[in-house]
Structure 1
Amino acid sequence: MSRLQFTVPPLPHYMLCGPMSHAPGRRHASRRDTGVFDLLVVREGCLYMGEEDRTFEVEPGCALILRPDTYHFGTQGCTERTSYYWLHFQTTGSWTVTDDELPRHGLEPYDEKRTQAMWSYSTHTFHIQVPQFVKLLHPNKMDELFEQLIQLNQSFYSGNAKWSQQVLFQEVLWQLSASMAKEESTPAAACAELAADYMRKHYREPITAQELGERLNFHPVYIARCMQRIYGCAPMEYLLHQRIEQAKLLLLQSDLSIGRIAEEVGFNQAAYFTSCFTRKEGISPRQFRQRFSYG
């Protein structure tokens, strides 16, 4: 699946949208290098679209994003009355096209510059992805969002209206992203997500592979395979990552002792916590607190 990947901030921003309908025989206009992203959401009928060397049949409940830097065109006329929404948006940030899914975990090795950016007032960018073509998970919800956006067009010069439109547009992007995630959902992904969710909620408690299997009603070996496939790590490695991340927050946001923090995040012994933290982050908990604390 082709994905449009945006580096944020800044977030992509809404420009204008509206309804459109085509009688049978009419095809979508051909355009080149429009300079804006063009989102099409079909309500009835079918749009037959091409972009460079790819073709799409955009049926009811489907969405297609045409890129600002390509040639797009109607490949044939509509075979029946076709109605759809169009929406133009743009970004002042960087973006790219990729077939690769964003990683679902954050088990990167310690990097001092990255860590300093995260724990300081520097802007820390990240990536979001939306599908270029997708069958919508909640088409009725998308219709509601477009109708609200269109209604606000009547007050386009109002600052409050523009603000409301930007908020609604972010929900449009979220609906697209959620639809992509649903299409890619597999039994392995569902199992891995259940395991990850359980460990995020119960990281303070002692957890073994056997107990995890009993709680989720899956064999521990199967859970381990799913976690490795989806998250790229074993369950206990994921659990350790969650505990260390929570420990970082406590180190910076509290005056608790190292020993107390170890207990709070699920370690029985402070020495073992310090060993795990140092091995994973490259510095000790005390050094981390001193280096990234302010005031």
Structure 2
Amino acid sequence: MAFLEITIPPLPHYITSGLNAIPKGGQHPSRSNIQVFDLLITISGCFYIGEDDARFEVGSGQAVILRPDRYHFATQVCSEITHTYWLHFHVGGAWELINPAAVAPVSLEDPAPEEAVVEAFAVEPFTMRIPQFTTLQHPEKMYEIFDQLLQLQPRAHVSSVRFAQQQLFQEILYHLAASGETDHASASRACAEKAASYLRQHFRESVSAKQLGDELNFHPVYIARCMQKEYGCSPITYLLKLRVGHAKLLLLQTELPIAHIAQEVGFEQAAYFAASFTKLEGMSPRSYRQQFSQGI
């Protein structure tokens, strides 16, 4: 199963939606590079659409997302009248089409980070994984949300209505993501979340990959693969980010000596703390503190 993996923020943005009826013997129109994502959900009947080498038969209770940068074409006519909801949305940030079945080897270490812009409280992006084609878990709930969107459409020029549409659209994305979760994906996510929870509770302690594996009863390589998939980094880097994040708060909110802060957040050696902090933040703990204390 192929997934659209969207990096957030920014949030995907709702544009417009509607209800369409394809007559018996009719077909979905062929289009190329329409510049927006096209979500199609079949209420009754079935339509047939192609994108590159992929072919989709979208029957009742099923959904497909067509990419903005591809040619889409009907592969055959409908054998009965087919009713579909359609929705156009835009992704302002990064996204890619991925196939989780193609699993690349995962290292316990992370590649060298790119130079970062230092901020007191940086926004950390996350990813949402949405299936390109799926059978909806709760189709009636999805139909209900689309009906609410259609009812709001005549007043879409009102700012409060536009905001309500965006909220409904986020709910649609949530239901799509839930429909695409396989048992394997759920197990992977559960493992990553258990590892993250353990690290958050024990970040002040010395935690090795073996210890984490023993606590979760999973092999360290499997845990690393799950965390890389869900959080984009290894357990080691996740732990370092936790410690440095807490250290940043202490540097900003207290006058504690840097060596003391290092111990408070789980570093046994101040030099290692300084090196780790500099690697992640692009400057030393002392420089970080000074940057936000100027003018005091």
Which category describes the TM-score, using the shorter chain as reference length? 0.7 to 0.9
1:47 partnered with 2:47: yes
- TM-score (structure 1 length as normaliser): 0.74
In structure 1, the partner of 2:98 is 99
1:229 partnered with 2:228: no
In the TM superposition, residue 95 of structure 1 has moved relative to its aligned partner by: 5.8
Secondary structure, counterpart of 1:26 in structure 2: coil
In structure 1, the partner of 2:288 is 288
In the TM superposition, residue 202 of structure 1 has moved relative to its aligned partner by: 3.4
In the TM superposition, residue 185 of structure 1 has moved relative to its aligned partner by: 0.5
Letter in 1 for 2:169: F
1:60 partnered with 2:60: yes
In the TM superposition, residue 5 of structure 1 has moved relative to its aligned partner by: 5.9
In structure 2, the partner of 1:20 is 20
* Percent identity for Structure 1 against Structure 2: 45
Structure-2 separation of matches of 1:254 and 1:62: 54
Question: Which deviations, in whole Å up to 9, do the C-alpha atoms of 1:31-84 show, x marking residues without a partner?
Answer: 344444321012333221123443111233332122344332322223345332
Distance 1:214-1:12 versus aligned 2 partners, 3 A rule: closer
In structure 1, the partner of 2:147 is 147
Distance 1:203-1:59 versus aligned 2 partners, 3 A rule: farther
Structure-1 separation of matches of 2:169 and 2:85: 13
Structure-1 separation of matches of 2:76 and 2:167: 35
On the 8 A contact 1:14/1:90 being kept in 2, the answer is yes
In the TM superposition, residue 137 of structure 1 has moved relative to its aligned partner by: 4.8
In the TM superposition, residue 161 of structure 1 has moved relative to its aligned partner by: 0.7
- TM-score (structure 2 length as normaliser): 0.74
Letter in 2 for 1:239: L
On the 8 A contact 2:22/2:81 being kept in 1, the answer is yes
Letter in 2 for 1:145: I
On the 8 A contact 1:107/1:241 being kept in 2, the answer is no
2:117 corresponds to which of 94, 115, 118 = 115
Distance 1:22-1:288 versus aligned 2 partners, 3 A rule: same
Gaps of 5+ in 1: none
Secondary structure, counterpart of 1:194 in structure 2: helix
Gaps of 5+ in 2: none
Moved more, 207-216 or 63-72: 207-216
Structure-2 separation of matches of 1:32 and 1:183: 35
Secondary structure, counterpart of 1:185 in structure 2: helix
Secondary structure, counterpart of 1:238 in structure 2: helix
In structure 1, the partner of 2:250 is 250
On the 8 A contact 1:26/1:77 being kept in 2, the answer is yes
In the TM superposition, residue 6 of structure 1 has moved relative to its aligned partner by: 5.8
On the 8 A contact 2:117/2:282 being kept in 1, the answer is no
Letter in 2 for 1:63: A
Structure-1 separation of matches of 2:88 and 2:97: 21
On the 8 A contact 2:85/2:146 being kept in 1, the answer is yes
On the 8 A contact 1:130/1:177 being kept in 2, the answer is yes
On the 8 A contact 2:191/2:226 being kept in 1, the answer is no
Aligned residues: 286
Question: What's the Cα RMSD here?
Answer: 4.0
Structure-2 separation of matches of 1:159 and 1:61: 32
Letter in 1 for 2:194: L
Secondary structure, counterpart of 1:75 in structure 2: strand
Distance 1:100-1:156 versus aligned 2 partners, 3 A rule: same
